[in-house]
A and B are shown apart, each in its own frame.
Chain A
Amino acid sequence: MSATAHVQGDGHAPDHSKRDFLKLVAASGAAIGVGSLAWPLIDSMNPSGDVLALSSVEFDLAPVPLGQAVTVVWRGKPVFVRHRTPDEIKTAEAVKLSELGDPQLDSDRVKAGHEQWLVVVGICTHLGCVPLGNKSTDPRGDFGGWFCPCHGSQYDVSGRMRHGPAPANLAVPPYAFMSDTRIKIG
């Protein structure tokens, strides 16, 4: 604001602080107004009610052959369900936490009593490609789990990140066993 108080005919200096205050109030009122108008527009781009409505899928484990994984679609995303061999389970459990980039025990990634089943979201935590390794003939990387063709990330049989550039383990979705051979994801 202009610092030179310019004197008016009637001898009173104009009250600049009052005017500044009014301008501030007007401007912040307008900013709040525009903001509250903009919010509905922006929020309409967020997931809508029907998308959010928790969809869940049930899946029958019986046909999944030992040593292989299948892909289930849940909320539009691939979920890997892997039938692990006893050897694989043993290797996964033996890994020391200090060897891991994103330390997590194998037992925290499976359901107790169902260690042969690994359920993970099949999306590479680097930039979102779908890693290879569901079939035993796929490249599975040096750790026997999955290999991401995009930038070479490698995951072990617990879906844990073992070689970058991925920063984290494959995510475990919420799921529960309905029976020994049936799970419900979501």
Chain B
Amino acid sequence: MVGLHKSEFKNPVINWVDTRLPLFTMMTKEYGVFPTPKNFNYFWNFGALAMINLMIMIVTGIFLAMNYNASTAGAFDSVERIVRDVNYGWLLRYVHANGASMFFIVVYIHMFRGLYYGSYKKPRELLWMIGVVILLLMMATAFMGYVLPWGQMSYWGATVITNLFSAIPVVGDYIVTLLWGGFSVDNPTLNRFFSLHYLMPFVITGVVFLHVVALHITGSNNPLGIEPKSSQDTLPFHPYYTIKDSVGMCVYLMVFAALVFFAPDYLGHADNYTPANPLVTPAHIVPEWYFLPFYAILRSVPSKLGGVIMMFGSIAILFVLPWLDTSPVRSAKFRPIYRQLLYVFVVVCITLGVAGGKPPEGIWVVIGRVCTAYYFLHFLVILPLLGKLEKPLPLPESIANPVLTPIGGGPLPGGAMAKPMEKM
């Protein structure tokens, strides 16, 4: 396909550029007139919010890096200096630190949306898998970022997580030495973590781009989980969803601001305000809240290698989710049993998070183990069987015409209540 693009833009400058590099046409096609199901609820805001969050992280991160010193001697002090002496450094740091938490809140809700409405099912399997890749990249980025202030939690978190790799038979210890660039977490480790922490968000940006390309091939799912059939079922992305996303963005920014300005350290750990000391481990070390469920899974298995496998497995299993769920019906609205079991699953995940934050003793060990077992049960047993056993509710004919029969037909799907657009 060689040849100039036939641009429809009136403005001569835009037209000139667009003819040679059809960016404007692309933006209009993908974000202007892009046909989008008209029945989105606010769960569909979270992808856009994640994108905004990613930009906030990159921008604040770049400015933080201007004052950060990646050395074991200088890191802790340079972060304190950022907070105390650099103009608005306190703002930059706390936006970045709480931004990581906001990012995980947003992405976990985004993923829950996918689970609830079956967005991972055919034809969106690859879109979902790219999402899981993003999740893994985010986790690696957040972990390495947390090491940078070089406090006690940074140091011991880095030690524990890198040591996970020592569970690998035969080559484990070599891998750990390679990760460290030495024989313990030290200056070389900090330096490479900084280098990678700077790099990864741009890798994430690239993968998010693929995520969006894949999304625009399949089109978005929607609360009813049925494909749009005609133009009656869709709206142009702009202005309908640019506005809806903006409303969500305002709420999101309010929550974000409340965290940053009123509770900047609420989600952090006081121990990380003690400079790293390789000779003393804090009494109770825990990762950041967004890793707690996985940490609980790790600790639930009384075998080093087993725990590591289960922990990574709990994320890896998401890659095959599209094939584990055998039900052809997407939206949980029409799957009464799945819907309830999904809530159970969410409670189990939250309980795992709580257990991960407690010292591994007494009842919490038991709770952790039960929930770990249920986590895998959900994916490996419940989902494959449920698809065969459950009797879904009748699906509506189309998005514009959501009710099959006025009588019976189960609860009226809330998101489908949107009135058909009145013709102007």
Shortest B300–chain A CB gap in Å is 43
Which of B395-424 touch A at CB < 8 Å? 424
Q: Which of B60, B81, B91, B424 contacts A48 (CB 8 A)?
A: B81
State whether the Cβ of B89 lies closer than 8 Å to any Cβ in chain A.
yes
Q: Which of B60, B66, B84 contacts A45 (CB 8 A)?
A: B66
Number of A residues contacting the other chain (C-beta, 8 Å)? 12
Task: Kindly state the separation between the CA atoms of A50 and B82 in the bound complex, as whole angstroms.
Answer: 10
B89 touches A48 (CB 8 A): yes
Report the nearest B residue to A43, measured CB to CB.
B87
Instruction: Report if A8-B81 is in contact (Cβ < 8 Å); known contacts: A41-B63, A44-B66.
Output: no
Task: Kindly state the separation between the CA atoms of A8 and B424 in the bound complex, as whole angstroms.
Answer: 8
Report the nearest B residue to A39, measured CB to CB.
B88
B91 touches A40 (CB 8 A): yes
State whether the Cβ of B92 lies closer than 8 Å to any Cβ in chain A.
yes
A44 touches B81 (CB 8 A): no
B424 touches A44 (CB 8 A): no
Interface flags, A36-54, vs B, CB<8A=1, else 0: 0000110111101111000
Which of B81-127 touch A at CB < 8 Å? 81, 84-89, 91-92
State whether the Cβ of B28 lies closer than 8 Å to any Cβ in chain A.
no
Shortest B316–chain A CB gap in Å is 38
B63 touches A44 (CB 8 A): yes
Instruction: Report if A40-B85 is in contact (Cβ < 8 Å); known contacts: A8-B424, A48-B67.
Output: no
B88 touches A44 (CB 8 A): yes
A41 touches B81 (CB 8 A): no
A41 touches B59 (CB 8 A): yes
Residues on the B chain within 8 Å of A44, using CB: 63, 66-67, 86-89, 92
Interface flags, A50-63, vs B, CB<8A=1, else 0: 11000000000000
Which of B49-85 touch A at CB < 8 Å? 59-60, 63, 66-67, 81, 84-85
Interface flags, A107-131, vs B, CB<8A=1, else 0: 0000000000000000000000000
A45 touches B89 (CB 8 A): no
Task: Kindly state the separation between the CA atoms of A8 and B92 in the bound complex, as whole angstroms.
Answer: 50
A43 touches B88 (CB 8 A): yes
Task: Kindly state the separation between the CA atoms of A105 and B38 in the bound complex, as whole angstroms.
Answer: 79
B81 touches A46 (CB 8 A): no
Task: Kindly state the separation between the CA atoms of A59 and B319 in the bound complex, as whole angstroms.
Answer: 69
Task: Kindly state the separation between the CA atoms of A44 and B88 in the bound complex, as whole angstroms.
Answer: 6
B87 touches A46 (CB 8 A): yes
Shortest A48–chain B CB gap in Å is 4
Shortest B320–chain A CB gap in Å is 41
Task: Kindly state the separation between the CA atoms of A5 and B59 in the bound complex, as whole angstroms.
Answer: 44
Residues on the B chain within 8 Å of A40, using CB: 87-88, 91-92
Q: Which of A41, A46, A51 contacts B92 (CB 8 A)?
A: A41
Shortest B382–chain A CB gap in Å is 45
B88 touches A49 (CB 8 A): no
Shortest A107–chain B CB gap in Å is 40
Residues on the B chain within 8 Å of A48, using CB: 67, 81, 85-87, 89
Task: Kindly state the separation between the CA atoms of A134 and B85 in the bound complex, as whole angstroms.
Answer: 36
Instruction: Report if A49-B84 is in contact (Cβ < 8 Å); known contacts: A40-B91, A40-B92.
Output: yes
Task: Kindly state the separation between the CA atoms of A48 and B66 in the bound complex, as whole angstroms.
Answer: 12
A45 touches B63 (CB 8 A): yes
Instruction: Report if A50-B87 is in contact (Cβ < 8 Å); known contacts: A8-B424, A41-B63, A44-B66.
Output: no
Name A's B-contacting residues (CB within 8 A).
8-9, 40-41, 43-46, 48-51
Name B's A-contacting residues (CB within 8 A).
59-60, 63, 66-67, 81, 84-89, 91-92, 424
